[in-house]
Amino acid sequence: MRDVAIIGAGMIPFGRRDEDSLLDLLAYSSLKALDDAGLGDKGVDAVYVANMGAGILQHQTSVASALVDRLGLLPAAADAVENGPASGASAIKNGLLAVASGYYNLVLVAGGEKMREVVGWKATDFVATMTHPEVEYPYGITLPGMAGMFTRLYMEKYGLTREQLIAVALKNQRMGALNPYAHVEMVITKEGIYDHPDSVVNNPMAADPLHLYDMCPVSDGSAAVVLCPLEKAKAFSKNVPVVIAGFGQATDTHTLQERDDPTDLKAVTLASQQAFERAKLKPSDVDVAELHDAFTILEIAESEHAGFYKKGEGGKAAEKGETSLGGRLPINMSGGLKARGHPVGATGVAQVVDIVYQLRHELPKERQVKNAKVGFTLNFGGFGNNIVAFVLRRPE
Amino acid sequence: MKKEIEITGYKCKSCGRVHYPFHDRCLDCKGRDFDEIPAEGGAKLLAYTQIFNLPWGFDTRFLIIGVVEFENKVKAMGQIRADSLEGLKTGMKLRPAWEPVRQAAGEDIYGLALYPK
């Protein structure tokens, strides 16, 4: 197996993009990634497109075939990859394996979603189609609802507090306001969403005990990366190659009710352990992480299950500022899903793009983790039933 | 969407693990033979939430949804019939009922409803 490097990365501003089609979004980020790599007119061997909902939201299928045609990349191999909100990382994994195996030398991975095209209840319903179609979905459960149940159990078991959740929301929106690609560029205050009497209006209950500002927005957006063998990286591109040092993927029961301990995100632990083992690195080696904070609780729970903190300590760390820039482990310096946004098919790719920027030391100092050498991403599918993690590193 | 959400557990004949919903192979021992066990007895509340942003198919202001464990170990999701979360507590007993839980194509879909005692 060959070591694989990311030599190009691209992203477009997330948000509400009424003027663009899904294919526009995918094409824009793909061209940015190809141009970032400096490939010029060179073609690629294969394209993997991460998308969860075009068949439902846009009434469009075969988006990978459409994208290679749009980009003039024919006759490259093209596949769409769907793994719910972890589609992006799954698509990168497929590209990684294709390059590592020696089958392909140049692979483009693009992730995109256009969710603001439909009204709110339709978007909520679309995401809820991930739940079990016979024993969960008919009752009206949503992903925020799953997160609400999980949060209450976490509070009861580990003493998690609302102040700890708010610390994540404040940090990520603060960072999002510094990120030109972020959907939400608005700094919020604890007073505005918690202390002040008006916070009941500003920050209403959404899925008890989670409030509006515990949730990520529904977004349009896309992101893309270009992969090649590390040994050929210098021949293809002048960029600092970012090595995909390890990946892990694990699954868990479809329904929450069948987990022995519903607060135990086993697949997060397993995927993270696999990624670290393959990378021959430890959680303590990580300088910066992008975690899947679709809900504030998830950043905290993932930081524990991935091995960065003991169970029950992640919330305290967030509240103490350990996960802020300059802290022990800066998490979601992009603003995370909470502020960058969560176009579901794009998210896993966007997380990797943000870590690539960190490891290439290209970000403004307000978001750049100084001298970052090792990064970590975690993309969370379903409610923890299909997880993909990456450990990325800057070459010595 | 099926018109009835059956609350039937599947007990593995090899290791005794109770599953719900159905799996072709036991999640623990990979056994393929199961005894069907209808959910029986009172229901203990394991987890719950109140959601205000509802998906397609619901014409109410909110839903209260919980996961319960029946006395014969069958665990299932259901709708809790209450006006608010006041009075609900993890571990409390709820009374199960078989009622319409939503409509689809103009027809009632029957499933698990749960009442605080």
Q: What is the largest CA-CA distance in chain A?
A: 61
Task: Answer yes or no: is A69 within a domain.
Answer: yes
Task: Answer yes or no: is A63 within a domain.
Answer: yes
Q: Which of B3, B19, B51 to mutate to test the interface with A (most CBs of A within 10 A)?
A: B51
Q: Which of B11, B49, B90 to mutate to test the interface with A (most CBs of A within 10 A)?
A: B49
Distance from CA of B52 to the nearest CA of A (A): 5
**Residue A91's pLDDT band (cuts 50, 70, 90):** very high
Q: What is the mean pLDDT of chain A?
A: 97
CA distance A197 to A220: 33
Task: Answer yes or no: is A306 within a domain.
Answer: no
Q: Which residues of A touch B66 (CB under 8 A)?
A: 149
Partner residue opposite B53 with nearest CB, options A144, A149, A262: A144
Single out the residue of A387, A352, A388, A392 nearest to residue A372, CA to CA. Answer: A392
Task: Answer yes or no: is A79 within a domain.
Answer: yes
CATH number at residue A102: 3.40.47.10
Task: Answer yes or no: is A229 within a domain.
Answer: yes
Mean pLDDT is lowest, of A198-202, A248-252, A285-289, A373-377, for: A198-202
Number of domains in chain A: 1
Q: Which residues of B touch A148 (CB under 8 A)?
A: 49-51
**pLDDT digit string (tens) for A189-232?**
999 999 899 988 999 999 999 999 999 999 999 999 999 999 99
**pLDDT digit string (tens) for B95-106?**
999 999 999 989
Would you identify the CATH topology of the domain B40-116? OB fold (Dihydrolipoamide Acetyltransferase, E2P) (2.40.50)
Task: Answer yes or no: is A93 within a domain.
Answer: yes
Q: What domain range includes position A61?
A: 4-119+218-236
Task: Answer yes or no: is A34 within a domain.
Answer: yes
Instruction: Give the mean pLDDT of B53-79.
Output: 95
Per-domain boundaries in chain B: 40-116
A3: CB partners within 8 A, 6+ apart: A100, A229, A230, A231, A243
Q: For chain B, what percent of residues have pLDDT higher than 90?
A: 88
Do the Cβ atoms of B67 and A256 come within 8 Å? yes
Q: Which of A258, A264, A383 to mutate to test the interface with B (most CBs of B within 10 A)?
A: A258
> Rg of chain B over CA atoms, in angstroms?
15
Global pTM?
0.98
Reported as type and span, the H/E element at residue A380 is strand A374-381
Task: Answer yes or no: is A25 within a domain.
Answer: yes
Mean pLDDT is lowest, of A32-36, A105-109, A194-198, for: A194-198
Q: Which residues of B touch A257 (CB under 8 A)?
A: 20, 46, 67, 75-77
